[in-house]
Amino acid sequence: MAKVKTDRREFVKYSTLGVLGAVMAGGVIASPYLNAEETRLRPPGSLGEKEFLGLCIKCGQCLQVCPFHSIELADFGKGHGVGTPYIDATKRACWACNAVPCVLACPTGALDHDCEKAEDIRMGIAVLEFPDTCIAMTNTPIPKGFSTKMHKFTDNVNNVTQVELDLVEKLDTFEGKQCTLCADMCPIPNPLSAIAMVPDKSGGKRPEIYDGCIGCGACEEVCPTQIPSIVVKTRVTYEEQYGKDKQS
Ligand code: SF4
Ligand code: SF4
Ligand code: SF4
């Protein structure tokens, strides 16, 4: 099985080189957006913004294979990079599929094929941006109907998948409990390497972020506060946000 997967990835890598050659020959690499700055979340494996914009041919392959409908294509109202894929974690985060199919589907390498599993993803870093609104700090139970937004999202997709249905079903089990949603819904294989609830001097608990965080935004999507208390800072590393020794 592992051999098949490796062969498939090798095939895609070499196909990628072919497509890349065609792209360069066609001059597409001279994108008018090369100097643009971007603060939106790009899909897993995304190269640096300039390289990404130079290589992405806006084919939409990544979003077609995403079983969570996480990826959107930027329209004219979203500024530069029209037609390029991005993720709005307040609507639907990346849920960190193990085999990262969006990367595998990318024909140009704009999403780097060295990103082979969930732990390889590095989209940004989670930050408890608004601690004062985090309901875990005040031991406030998760309000009824907090998952309405996620249910509506799932109801409105055309080809809803089983993993999306499982997701909303799991979310509903948290209603009325003390909030640990960001930590408990963290989708990576070892969530404790990314986030844990720790006692806070306020008497409640707060999420603490560790260097295993991949910046998928799932915590931001599920946070039940009106404006998510926890957010992902795009393309920021753990070290940049927290420093080498700090653990919160
Ligand atoms: S890893 Fe999975 S959920 Fe995340 S963007 Fe890729 S396909 Fe979608
Ligand atoms: S802490 Fe949040 S952003 Fe980081 S890996 Fe977990 S769910 Fe994703
Ligand atoms: S999901 Fe996390 S950040 Fe949001 S309220 Fe709950 S504990 Fe606080």
Task: Print the SS3 string covering 144-165.
Answer: CCCCHHHHHHHHHCCCCCHHHH
HSE-up of 91 (CA within 13 Å, CB side)? 15
150 versus 80: which is more confidently predicted? 150
Ligand 1 centroid to Cα of residue 227, in Å, is 24
- Closest-CA residue, ligand 3 atom 4, reads 223
Asked whether the predicted pLDDT for residue 2 surpasses 60, the reply is no
Q: Which residues of 131-140 are buried (b: 16+ CB within 10 A; e: fewer)?
A: eebbbbbeee
pLDDT at 245: 54
Query: Which of 229, 231, 232, 248 has most ligand 3 atoms within 8 Å of CB, for mutation?
Result: 229
pLDDT at 76: 65
Residue 102: enclosing H or E segment and its boundaries? helix 101-105
3-class DSSP assignment, residue 239: helix
| Ligand with smallest separation from the Cα of 134 | 3
pLDDT at 5: 46
Residue 101: enclosing H or E segment and its boundaries? helix 101-105
The mean pLDDT value of the chain amounts to 87
Confidence of residue 35 (pLDDT cuts 50, 70, 90): very low
* Cα(39)–Cα(42) distance, integer angstroms: 9
Atom of ligand 3 nearest to the CA of 222: 1
Ligand 3 centroid to Cα of residue 196, in Å, is 11
Structure tokens at 44: 């897993």
pTM: 0.85
pLDDT tens column, 187-241: 999 999 999 999 999 899 999 999 999 999 999 999 999 999 999 999 999 999 9
pLDDT at 246: 52
Asked whether the predicted pLDDT for residue 18 surpasses 80, the reply is no
Q: Give how far Cα 123 sits from Cα of 40, 88, 212, Å.
A: 10, 12, 12
Kindly state if the Cβ of 216 falls inside 6 Å of ligand 2: yes
Asked whether the predicted pLDDT for residue 24 surpasses 80, the reply is no
pLDDT tens column, 106-126: 999 999 999 999 999 999 999
Closest CA to 96 of 237, 200, 208, 221: 221
